Amino acid sequence: MKHRIAVPLIAAPLILTGLLSGGIALADHHGGGAIHGDMHGEMHGDKMPPMFSKFDKNNDGRISRDEAREGTDRMFNDVDTNKDGFISKEEMQAHHKAMHDKFRESMRDKMREHWKSADKDGDGALSRAEVDTAKMHRLARDFDKLDKNKDGRLTEDEIRAGMPERPAR
């Protein structure tokens, strides 16, 4: 038996926004992620989190009640994959997993780009000087520990081997 989440119409937008924020925020507002920005999409100066622009359709720098309703409806429709007007526990879990996977792939791409730009001599490995020049502070801090073969260069394999294991999802 599928579990269904049914809520009164007035409470639905607020509850849905809260439920979806874990998945959607994870994938969307981590634009800078752990590499270049604030992980939680907080507003710093004039920079707005991507979720804001998804709701602010007229780009006036404010979200009206109508824009909030429309944004929430779009989010609901994205998660309600069987289009029955309800979000089941299974649909929510699938959505959250998809957003998590999207976020992880985005972070991998950013890491690859950062690695490539730091690798000034193009040899596929990073020397301590390249790490320092690229301001890769954590890598610089752990350089000696990660450089398993002690050749003064870090390869992607050495980085992967030095990462903590993550439990399977």
Q: Is the pTM of this model over 0.75?
A: no
How many structural domains does the chain have? 2
Q: Which residues of 63-83 are buried (b: 16+ CB within 10 A; e: fewer)?
A: beeebeeebbeebbebbbeee
Does some domain include residue 102? Answer: yes
What is the pLDDT, as a whole number, of residue 3? Answer: 52
Residues 133 and 94 both lie in one domain = no
Residue 62 lies in a domain: yes
Residues 56 and 127 in one domain: no
At 31, the pLDDT band (50, 70, 90 cuts) reads: very low
Q: Which residues span the domain enclosing 125?
A: 119-163
Looking at the structure, do residues 91 and 129 belong to the same domain, yes or no?
no
Give the pLDDT confidence score for residue 122 in this predicted structure.
93
Give 69-132 as a DSSP string.
HHHHHHHHHHH-TT-SS-EEHHHHHHHHHHHHHHHHHHHHHHHHHHHHHH-TT-SSSEEHHHHH
For residue 29, pLDDT beyond 60: no
Single out the residue in 71, 88, 109 at which a domain terminates: 109
pLDDT of residue 86: 96
Express each pLDDT in 62-90 by its tens digit.
999 999 999 999 999 999 999 999 999 99
Q: What is the pLDDT of residue 159?
A: 85
Answer with the residue of higher pLDDT: 131 or 166: 131
pLDDT at 116 > cutoff 90: yes
159 in a structural domain: yes
